[in-house]
Amino acid sequence: MYTHGKDIKIFAGNSNQPLAMAMAESLGIPLGKSNVGTFSDGEIAVSINESVRGSDVYVVQSTSQPVNNNLMELLIMIDAFHRASAGRITAVLPYYGYARQDRKSRARDPITAKLVADLITSAGADRVLTMDLHAPQIQGFFDIPVDHMVGMPILSPYFEKMVQKNPELKETLVVMSPDLGSVNRARSFAERLDVPIAIIDKRRPKPNASEIMHIIGDIEGKDVLIVDDMIDTAGTLTNAANEVAKRGANSVTACATHAVLSGPAIERIVSSALKEVVLLDTIFLPPEKQHPKIKMLSCAHVLAEAVERIYSDKPVSTLFR
């Protein structure tokens, strides 16, 4: 029946072990036995403690903070499986770090997203499974197959249920794109909820800083839902939420796939006009970053089903519906 590997084996680096464990549980298999630590000089030490010969191996590792450590863990683990004669190796990257360095915006800029793709391929990965790349064209940076999942089918049911419980929300809900680059994502979300869309026109005077120029669409007296792919320092998001509230919105909620939440992000969210922020667990959220305003949903079941479909040569695209 199956053509790739004699069995499924899921292994985890240190970046997001709870997600890997939830995926393994969803598949009804144990998490693979491995140790990933460091030598006294800081070099990464990897030990694979079970046979993977001929197996279909899935390495779950988000290249989130600390980005370079997590990336090196992933590369070394892939190399270890490759040398241990795994049948096929899939790098499962719920969050793909360096994705924002996907083009040359100034002279002499690197395209680091392409470099990382080359490193993963050179290490020995046969395919990649990832979720909500910041720039979809990054799929083309790989010379191996990429299954690109989206977070919307996990996030939107949460708000669909909210509308079902409060039917009056249907008349006041507006989905908002925080910038022109996220319009397609917001439009898909709005179509799913069957509500109108609004767009923020902003400019970035410097990295991790933004200024709102215009708001396109009617938000006065509305319940605004801001949709994005990730929240990093939360500057863009909280500026947008505060501005929207100032311009007469009833409430402001946000949702995104990746909870990067670096620097002052938590403090900004807590002190902002945001009522709730709904995120997926593609990145592990430590206790010090948890707050009642932040609601986490799990993507483990979707990634686990994608793994099962890849293993049995079934289409993954049906999971987008």
Which residues are known to be catalytic? 202
Are β-strands 34-38 and 44-48 bridged in parallel, bridged antiparallel, or unpaired?
A: antiparallel
Cα within 13 Å of Cα(14), Cβ side: 18
Strand partners, 92: 60, 129
CA distance 128 to 282: 15
Q: Which residues are CB-contacts of 142 (< 8 A; sequence separation ≥ 6)? A: 117, 120, 121, 128
Q: What is the DSSP letter of 107?
A: T
Q: With contact defined as beta carbons under 8 Å apart, do 261 and 230 qualify?
A: no
Q: Which residues are CB-contacts of 290 (< 8 A; sequence separation ≥ 6)? A: none
Q: Work out the number of other CB atoms within 10 angstroms of the CB of residue 224.
A: 26
Q: With contact defined as beta carbons under 8 Å apart, do 61 and 91 qualify?
A: yes
